[in-house]
Amino acid sequence: MLSARRLYTTASSASSVITPTHSIYLSTSTNPYFNLSFEDWLFRHAPQKEPLLLLYRDAPCVVIGRNQNPWKEVNFRAARAQSIPWVRRRSGGGTVYHDLGNTNFSIHVPRTTFDRGATAQVVLRAVRALGIDADVNERNDICVGGEKASGSAYKIASGRAYHHGTMLITTRLETLGDLLRVGKDTMITKGVASVRSPVCNLAQFSERVSHDTFVNAVVDSFKAEYGVYDEPCIVNDTDDLARIGYIQRGMAELPSWDWAFGQTPEFEYTIKKSFVWGDVTAHIHARHGVILSCTLQGLDSELGKALEGKRYGFVEDEELGVDMSGREEVVWAWLKEEMSSYD
């Protein structure tokens, strides 16, 4: 049973900025925007020399890496159908699916002592302490019997670095598969592609494992590794803490178009469709979520030019200002469907 205290922060003398003072935080909020913003606040404001641990769970959502292409990674239609949001996080790496059967850990350390292998070992020891024969693969992911139970990502900024990751305990793996299956092979992105692997839940290997037992094990392992004796501090998005400007701004930024879509790296998407009058091939070139160019072969039209400068996946019919005659209308309907973000 974990004992914990209410949040306690101090105001430093130099300014009236509130800074975190604990070494271990547990968030009971399942709002991914809050959890990611809180994590970022801890990252930027905790004492630089001290190691810090944060554990949290999110309500179902898809989380893509900092520099990924959501159109390539997220199955928007499936997500829309199940009312599951997707979020772009601040650390690098690939796409993961979060739900309440998945527990996220985040270990923050000074940049100069950051060692991915060491932080992965902290979590591995916790999993092993629960009686599961797990291992770490060459990408520092925790696996059991050749299947991934955890995915990791890192963020490094001046002075500080963190390793955070997921741990599948009782996640709905079939939902995970649906949402992350996109199949847009003809979309070529400059960003980081996800490395797909077969996954498994820890619950498959032990009856003891649950969010709470996993959290306790990670807390113990973290304390042992870094010589920390603090008791965990429990946080929720309804606390006063959540009103800190930095966290509020973060929570507002994450779902904004500029962050979610506007951070998409350059990509090119080539699609082809057969219409009654012939084939049409569209070659779309976009960057930062905005269409740079769209060339159409098989249709003589101003449609391609009209799309330049528009937000990919968010173009309204009225915006085009092009006279839609029969063929153009059909082609536009097809393009619109292909680009759709279902938002």
Helix (H, G, I), strand (E, B) or coil at 71: helix
Count of residues of this chain found to bind another protein when the rule CB under 8 A is applied: 41
Other beta carbons within 10 angstroms of residue 135's beta carbon come to 13
The one-character DSSP state at 59 is S
Does residue 154 interact with another protein by CB under 8 A? Answer: yes
Q: Mask 278-317, x = binds another protein (CB under 8 A)?
A: ---------x------------------------------
Other beta carbons within 10 angstroms of residue 41's beta carbon come to 22
Interface residue with another protein among 7, 9, 66, 314 (CB under 8 A) is 66
- The identity of residue 56, as a single letter, is Y
Smallest gap from Cβ 234 to another protein, in A, equals 23
Q: Mask 202-241, x = binds another protein (CB under 8 A)?
A: ----------------------xx-x--------------
Region class of 328: left (phi > 0), else alpha (psi between -120 and 50), else beta: alpha
Interface residue with another protein among 118, 188, 271, 290 (CB under 8 A) is 118
Strand partners, 159: none
Does residue 156 interact with another protein by CB under 8 A? Answer: yes
Does residue 256 interact with another protein by CB under 8 A? Answer: no
Q: Which stretch binds another protein (CB under 8 A): 6-14, 29-37, 278-286, 322-330?
A: 6-14
Strands (E), the chain: 9-11, 18-20, 24-27, 52-56, 61-64, 86-88, 96-98, 102-110, 135-136, 142-144, 147-148, 152-157, 160-168, 187-189, 233-235, 267-275, 278-287, 290-297
* Site residues (CB under 8 A) for another protein, limited to 85-104: 90-94
Binding site for another protein (CB under 8 A): 12-14, 48-49, 65-67, 90-94, 110-112, 114-118, 121, 139, 152-159, 190-192, 224-225, 227, 263, 265-266, 287
